[in-house]
Amino acid sequence: MGSTDKPADLETTKEVPPPPKGAAYGSTPPPPKHDHFFVVDVVLRFLVFAASLASVLVIVISKQKVHLGPALSVAKFNHSPAFIYFVAALSVAGLYAILTTLLSLSVIWKPILSTKLLLHFVFLDVLALGLVASATGTAGAVAYIGYKGNDHTHWLKVCSTFDKFCKHVVGALATSLFASVLLVLLVWLSTFTLHRKIPK
């Protein structure tokens, strides 16, 4: 008499692998860890904002009046297109810095947004660096002519007369150069952070 027992289903007899340690079925993945690089990023971006704001304020209040005989001569930043461009560029850089500072703070609160913003930060930081560096170089060239003059083109020195104005310009250039260095550091930081996120 034949047996009525059915052969066991091979699929059901296979052992189910145990879940990995520390994990349970149906559990959600752990939240992303806070990236401490964004804390440094926030500090650097705030310093860029402070340096840009200081540069703009120092050169805007650089107006100086000097009596040259019967005439009254005035030196102001808006008398030179290079200094006007300098103020406009540093104003844009300061606005950009404060906006990206707020974005970096949002990444600290919500780390899941970090990868999405890092690549944008690299591109935008390079643009901001080019803007600040070009403005600093342009204003610096005009300031050098005012300080040294040029014998070949008979451009006279003016800093011996407008000493206060030239000191303000030098201070604004120094702080804008500091902002440029900070932007270089930001580009390096964002690039390095992106490199760390590439799976190996």
DSSP string, the chain: ----PPPPPHHHHSPPPPPPTT--TTPPPPPPPP-THHHHHHHHHHHHHHHHHHHHHHHHT--EEEEETTEEEEE-GGGSHHHHHHHHHHHHHHHHHHHHHHHHHHHHH-GGGHHHHHHHHHHHHHHHHHHHHHHHHHHHHHHHHHHH-BTTTTBPP-TTTSHHHHHHHHHHHHHHHHHHHHHHHHHHHHHHHHHHHS--
Residue-wise pLDDT for 142-158, tens only, equals: 999 888 887 787 788 88
Q: Is residue 119 part of a domain?
A: yes
Q: Give the model's confidence band at 44: pLDDT under 50 very low, under 70 low, under 90 confident, else very high.
A: very high
Q: Examine the pLDDT at 23 and tell me if it is beyond 50.
A: no
Tokens for 157, please give them.
């020195």
pLDDT bracket for residue 54 (50, 70, 90) = very high
Residue 9 lies in a domain: no
Which structure tokens are listed for 133? 């560096």
What pLDDT does 46 receive?
Answer: 95
pLDDT band at 67 (very low <50, low <70, confident <90, very high): confident
pTM of structure: 0.76
Q: Tell me which of 195 and 41 has the higher pLDDT.
A: 41
What's the rounded mean pLDDT across residues 93-100? 95
- 173 pLDDT more than 90: yes
Per the domain annotation, does 139 fall within a domain? yes
Is 31 within a domain? no
Q: Identify the residue whose tokens are 């952070």.
A: 193
Q: Structural domain tally of the chain?
A: 1
Q: Is position 145 within any domain? A: yes
> What is the per-residue pLDDT across 122-135, written as a single tens digit (0 to 9) for each?
899 999 999 999 99
For residues 185-199, one letter each, b for 16 or more C-beta atoms within 10 angstroms of the residue's C-beta and e for the rest, the string is bbbebbbebeeeeee
Query: For residue 50, what are the β-bridge partners?
Result: none
Q: Which residue range is the domain that position 115 belongs to? A: 58-197
Note whether residue 10 is domain-resident. no
**Per the domain annotation, does 183 fall within a domain?**
yes
